[in-house]
Amino acid sequence: MWSEEELGAIVCQLSPLELEPARGLARLAPRPAAQQQADYQDEFDASTVLYDAFRSFDGDWVVLLGPPLCNLEPAVVPALLSAFGGKSSAMAGLRRRLGIPGGTQVLSADRHTQLWIKSECDQVELPAGLFKQQLLQVRSNSHALFQGKNVIVTMSRNNELAWIGDWVRFHVETHGCNAVLLYDNASTNCRGAEIKDQIVSVRGIDAALVVDWPFKLGPGGGPHWVWDSDFGQYGMLEHARHRYLPTASAVLNVDIDELVLTTAGSSIFDLARRSDVGYVRFAGRWVENATSLMLNPPARRHKHYFYYRDGPTALPKWAVVPARCPPHAQWRVHDIAAMQPDVVASAAATLRHFKAINTNWKDERWKPEALDPAHHRIDEALVAALRIFEDGPTGARRGQIT
């Protein structure tokens, strides 16, 4: 177990790489102008080349990880290979390692790019004029912090500290989570150190890291529902997979406004480990904003909400054993590409997505809602699960809606 002193000393450093603006080179948007919403260009990341450069967990490879290179590939890839002294033999090894066709140097995935180079270099000098940075530092791999742990991973921005604490506590007490990896996307309401303090204050957490992830998430699907430009979270998940979590026992990917329930009290981490393929994927239901309490936003808690409506299900999330992911798989927001979940094990898990635990960063999700017996139903399984909190579920009671 890590002491609080050791946890406080763990600092995450990234090695991002950006294009030099004066060069006039930029990533071209993949979405046609006719399908771009009003804020598309402001939200689009045209300049980030790499989110980070770090060693693989076995130490043999340098992993360069970032948004899709698109039109930047002809200029960027040769420059990076030259800086690291990439040779044809190394590229052949790269192809074997990634299981990709001969002649391909870059792993191009969904909204994401990786380049693996077999190199002993810990720092390289970059060609002048192409990049904003002159040097690229190769960071160490940090898998040892989470080795053998049940890890919950997420991205967060401006969530209330109390929400984060409750979310951690629920998954510790309900599922045996003992480690948290949280990527903070430029929060303005608190510092990363405060978030980490909140996490490690939960009894049962013995490994935690808050990663400062200041990159643009990218524009959403817009009115045409086209999802092709939201790079940030896709890069974050693969970054977590390769730099921090390759030797974790099992990993759960859910957001702060989501809680996982299982049948018969099973741990979601155990479900993933016992499954035939090491991967479970599960959808669930939306938890409505109905409550008898009129709460200011910071006072809202998961335990105040346990009503649902019949209607669309919440989008799925997943849990996985990293060691059982094939090299060509990709961790994505709602699934793992190139893996099929264990259907039987997945059926034992379900998600609860809370509309009220939200800062309206994406759309106006938080709206107080009056209890209506014609529409609202009590989620009995959720009520039972929320009893882990000292005062149990609060707000609307069974007698207040019939």
| pLDDT (tens digit per residue) in 258-274 | 999 999 889 999 999 99
pLDDT at 9: 40
Q: Are residues 285 and 326 in the same domain?
A: yes
Residues 385 and 259 sit within 8 Å (Cβ to Cβ): yes
Upper half-sphere CA count for residue 144 (Cβ side, 13 Å): 8
β 336-337/330-331 pair status: antiparallel
Classify residue 3: in a domain, yes or no: no
Q: CB count, 10 Å around CB of 19?
A: 20
Q: Are residues 160 and 274 in the same domain?
A: yes
Res. 127: pLDDT tops 70: yes
pLDDT at 114: 96
Domain boundary among 137, 159, 177: 137
pLDDT at 359: 81
Res. 392: pLDDT tops 70: no
The domain tally of the chain equals 2
The C-alpha atoms of residue 204 and residue 51 are separated, in whole angstroms, by: 31
Domain boundary among 115, 137, 159: 137
**Structural domain that includes position 349:** 143-400
3-class secondary-structure state, position 225? coil
Res. 395: pLDDT tops 80: no
Length of the chain: 402
Enclosing H/E stretch for 235: helix 232-239
Classify residue 8: in a domain, yes or no: no
pTM across the whole model: 0.92
Confidence of residue 12 (pLDDT cuts 50, 70, 90): confident
Tell me the helices (H) and strands (E) count for the chain, helix number first: 10, 20
pLDDT at 390: 78
Q: What is the mean pLDDT of residues 329-352?
A: 98
- Pair of tokens at residue 203: 């009894």
Query: By CB neighbour count within 10 A (0-12 exposed, 13-18 middle, 19+ buried), where does 359 fall?
Result: middle
Q: What is the mean pLDDT of residues 226-250?
A: 98
Nearest CA to 235 out of 174, 155, 304 is that of: 155
Q: What is the mean pLDDT of residues 341-356?
A: 97
The C-alpha atoms of residue 236 and residue 234 are separated, in whole angstroms, by: 5
Q: How far is CA 241 from CA 235, 250, 251, 253, 397, in A?
A: 10, 11, 9, 11, 42
3-class secondary-structure state, position 181? strand
pLDDT at 370: 79
Res. 399: pLDDT tops 50: no
Upper half-sphere CA count for residue 227 (Cβ side, 13 Å): 9
Q: Are residues 345 and 381 in the same domain?
A: yes
Least confident interval from 22-31, 130-139, 295-304: 295-304
Q: What is the mean pLDDT of residues 157-179?
A: 97
Max Cα-Cα span within the chain: 72
Q: How far is CA 191 from CA 16, 31, 185, 198, in A?
A: 20, 34, 11, 11
Classify residue 93: in a domain, yes or no: yes
**φ, ψ for residue 8 (rounded to 5)?**
-70, -20
Q: Are residues 334 and 235 in the same domain?
A: yes
Enclosing H/E stretch for 163: helix 161-175
Nearest CA to 209 out of 217, 200, 218, 201 is that of: 200
Classify residue 9: in a domain, yes or no: no
Q: Are residues 177 and 305 in the same domain?
A: yes
Classify residue 164: in a domain, yes or no: yes
- Pair of tokens at residue 17: 């790489």
Residues 130 and 20 sit within 8 Å (Cβ to Cβ): yes
Domain boundary among 137, 168, 192: 137
Q: Are residues 347 and 310 in the same domain?
A: yes
- What is the chain's Cα-based Rg? 22
**Percentage of residues of the chain with pLDDT beyond 70:** 87
3-class secondary-structure state, position 67? coil
